[in-house]
Amino acid sequence: LIRAADGTLHAFNATCTHLNCTVQYRSDWEKIWCACHGSRFDTATGANESGPAPRPLQSWKVEVSEKGEIFVTRA
Ligand code: FES
């Protein structure tokens, strides 16, 4: 789950689409990154931008209730 600078929330499956390593957020690059083979993904769309990952990260649906509770579900 990532909160963009404009407050928008984005959620993705943290499993890399290359060989299933767990991805992580790199604040220095402002990208989602896979340490196994260096794939990088866009933080707003999950698009694969570089490295061997063949597909975008699976995005999940984010909803915020009136109480501010955050719900993430598989889209
Ligand atoms: Fe993520 Fe290879 S498993 S780049």
Determine the distance separating the centroid of ligand 1 and the alpha carbon of 43, expressed in angstroms: 17
Higher-scoring residue by pLDDT: 5, 26: 26
Handedness of CA 3, 28, 14, 58 (dihedral sign): positive
Cβ neighbours of residue 71 under 8 Å, at least 6 residues apart? 62, 63, 64, 65
Measured in degrees and rounded to the nearest 5, phi and psi for residue 15 equal -95, 120
Which spans in 1-75 are helix H? none
pLDDT band for position 5 (cuts 50, 70, 90):
confident
Determine the distance separating the centroid of ligand 1 and the alpha carbon of 68, expressed in angstroms: 34
Q: What is the pLDDT of residue 22?
A: 98
Q: What is the pLDDT of residue 11?
A: 98
**Which residue has the least CA distance to atom 4 on ligand 1?**
37
**Which residue has the least CA distance to atom 2 on ligand 1?**
37
Higher-scoring residue by pLDDT: 5, 23: 23
Determine the distance separating the centroid of ligand 1 and the alpha carbon of 62, expressed in angstroms: 25
Q: What is the pLDDT of residues 14-72, one digit of tens each?
A: 999 999 999 999 999 999 999 999 999 999 999 999 999 999 999 999 999 999 999 99
